[in-house]
Each structure stands twice: as structure tokens, then as C-alpha cells.
């Protein structure tokens, strides 16, 4: 049973990284809450998620060597979570893994009892945030928004939903409040 594994997911533009950074910054050093570091086939960026950066060939080699407990392809990038990143679960700590909606069925199959943390935003907010990034055409942005609107978490899994439509502090307060409802979640 992996009830202390929290699988974080949501559409691009929902503010997952910002909300996870917000949570990290408010946890005391002795907190039993850990965040899995991902391996991604992209360069390390000055801003944004700190991850293990590898090129595509190295990622594929790691995958063939079965170095990953989880791995998926999303938005043209390969993502993986190494087996060692799951050690906190063996130490009775909580572990948040920033995952992918497409990989959720496999994560549920592999890790019975995990909790889904679904961070989302309304269609208008997602659209505005994605357009401001100017990384994709308006048509690609609209396709992403429509996929986000159509997605639903399977009703059979335990899920915490956070709507990140307002300020980061308000969404963070909602996140803390929702996580506090999980059995065994550390107080304070």
C-alpha cells in the first residue's frame, strides 16, 4: 500500500510547479514530506523545477537499464523518477511526485493506494497563462485547454483537488487544507 505517495498532476498552466514550490517553502526542515526529483531530457533551467538534466540518448539508456520507477513522455519530453527517489516511502515519509495525467493509469497500477493531487485551473485562466508564455500557437494552446477540460480523475482513486484560479497564497492555503484531510498527514 502506497498511501503516502502523492501523485501530482494537472494541465500545463495550472501552476503545479509554483504551488509545489510554495508548499516546499513553508515546510519546516524536520518535515516528513519529500519531493521526488525528476530526470528530464531537457537542459537545466535557471528558473523552474530543479531536475536531473540528461540528453535524450542518456534518458533512453537509463530507461533500458530499468533505472526508473516511473517514466513517461509528455509534451515532447521524457520524464522519469529513479527508484532511489522512492526511498522516503520506505522510511514512512510522504512523497510528492510531479507526474503526468497520461501516466496516471500506470501509476495507479504500479502503486496501489496512492493519492492523486490534481491541480487545475478554469479554462479561461489556463488559456490566458499559456498564451502569455508564447511557447505555442493559439491553436496548440486551445487543444491543450480542451484536453484539460475533458480530463477527469478516475472515481476509484483517492483524489485531492486544488483549483489554482486566484492568488498563489489562496491556492496554497487550499492545498494545505486539502492535504490535511488525508489520514496520517503530518499536522503543522
Res. 135 pLDDT band, cuts 50 70 90 = confident
Residue spans of the domains in the chain: they are: 5-37+85-179
pLDDT of residue 44: 63
pLDDT of residue 75: 77
Q: For the chain, give the mean pLDDT.
A: 91
**Residue 90 phi, psi (nearest 5):** -70, -20
Tell me what the mean pLDDT of segment 172-182 comes to.
Answer: 93
pLDDT at 187 over 50: yes
Distance from C-alpha of 111 to C-alpha of 91, rounded to nearest angstrom = 16
Evaluated on CA atoms 154, 160, 166, 172, the torsion sign reads: negative
Distance from C-alpha of 131 to C-alpha of 28, rounded to nearest angstrom = 36
Kindly state the greatest CA–CA separation across the chain.
46
Beta carbons within 8 Å of 125's beta carbon, 6+ residues apart: 13, 164, 165
pLDDT of residue 81: 97
pLDDT tens, position by position, 74-104: 878 899 999 999 999 999 999 999 999 999 9
Distance from C-alpha of 21 to C-alpha of 27, rounded to nearest angstrom = 10
pLDDT tens, position by position, 154-173: 988 999 999 999 999 999 99
pLDDT at 1 over 70: no
Read off the pTM: 0.90
The number of helices, as runs of H, and strands, as runs of E, in the chain is 7, 9
pLDDT of residue 47: 47
pLDDT of residue 48: 55
**CATH code reported for the domain at 5-37+85-179:** 3.40.50.300
Amino acid at each position: 500500500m502506497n498511501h503516502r505517495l502523492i501523485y501530482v498532476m494537472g494541465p500545463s498552466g495550472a501552476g503545479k510547479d509554483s504551488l509545489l514550490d510554495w508548499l516546499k517553502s513553508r515546510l519546516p526542515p524536520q518535515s516528513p514530506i519529500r519531493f521526488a526529483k525528476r530526470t528530464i531530457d531537457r537542459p537545466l533551467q535557471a528558473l523552474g523545477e530543479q531536475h536531473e538534466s540528461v540528453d535524450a540518448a542518456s534518458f533512453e539508456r537509463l530507461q533500458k537499464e530499468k533505472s526508473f520507477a516511473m517514466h513517461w513522455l509528455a509534451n515532447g519530453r521524457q520524464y522519469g523518477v529513479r527508484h532511489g527517489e522512492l526511498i522516503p516511502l520506505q522510511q514512512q515519509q510522504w512523497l510528492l511526485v510531479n507526474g503526468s495525467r497520461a501516466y496516471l493509469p500506470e501509476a495507479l497500477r504500479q502503486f496501489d493506494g496512492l493519492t492523486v493531487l490534481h491541480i487545475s485551473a478554469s479554462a479561461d485562466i489556463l488559456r490566458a497563462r499559456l498564451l502569455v508564455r508564447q511557447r505555442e500557437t493559439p491553436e496548440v494552446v486551445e487543444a491543450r485547454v480542451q484536453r484539460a477540460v475533458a480530463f477527469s480523475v478516475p472515481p476509484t482513486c483517492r483524489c485531492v483537488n486544488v483549483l489554482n484560479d486566484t492568488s498563489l497564497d489562496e491556492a496554497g492555503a487550499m492545498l494545505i487544507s486539502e492535504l490535511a484531510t488525508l489520514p496520517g498527514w503530518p499536522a503543522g
